[in-house]
Amino acid sequence: MGTHLLELRVWIEKPADPDPDTQVDGTLRLTCDERRKNRLRARLEDGREVGILLPRGTILRDGDYLSDGTIMVVVRAAPESLSVATTSNPHLLLRAAYHLGNRHVALQIGRDWLAYPHDHVLDDLARGLGLVVTLEKRGFEPESGAHGGGQHHSHAH
């Protein structure tokens, strides 16, 4: 490993239809909290150290790209400990989303499930509402929120 720190300053939003010919020179796995930071020092999967320097308000999502002008790095959601609450009843899912959201919990919402950072108290709440709760390690991509807290604010192509 060299001592040169790659400074990733150019952000490219995940394309809807990624070009299979895009040359990717590295993978950067970041937690949800790390993807919300505009200044961060991290390591690529191959061990190279990088510095992320992005405009304020930029939030990285799984599949976005970062570049320093010479290399292209893909961002991936790092596995995190999540509680996953499931039900086949849409009404119960809505009730759980309401009660968890009322506690300002970041939620990732699927067709018949909700995922949130693991918390025993919240697990009990979801179970009390009739959902089945399991603990899983996976990438976390919560909803961005009504005020744009998780939306991309600026980018370069």
Q: Is residue 151 in a domain?
A: no
CATH number at residue 61: 2.60.260.20
Q: Is residue 38 in a domain?
A: yes
Task: For the beta carbon of residue 64, count every other beta carbon within 10 angstroms.
Answer: 21
Q: Is residue 96 in a domain?
A: yes
Confidence of residue 157 (pLDDT cuts 50, 70, 90): very low
Q: Is residue 152 in a domain?
A: no
Say whether both 86 and 27 belong to one domain: no
Say whether both 42 and 20 belong to one domain: yes
Say whether both 72 and 99 belong to one domain: no
pLDDT in tens, 67-113: 888 888 999 999 999 999 999 999 999 999 999 999 999 999 999 99
Q: Is residue 1 in a domain?
A: no
pLDDT in tens, 34-61: 999 999 999 999 999 999 999 888 889 9
Q: Is residue 87 in a domain?
A: yes
Where in the sequence is the domain holding 124, given as residue range(s)?
Answer: 80-138
Say whether both 24 and 52 belong to one domain: yes
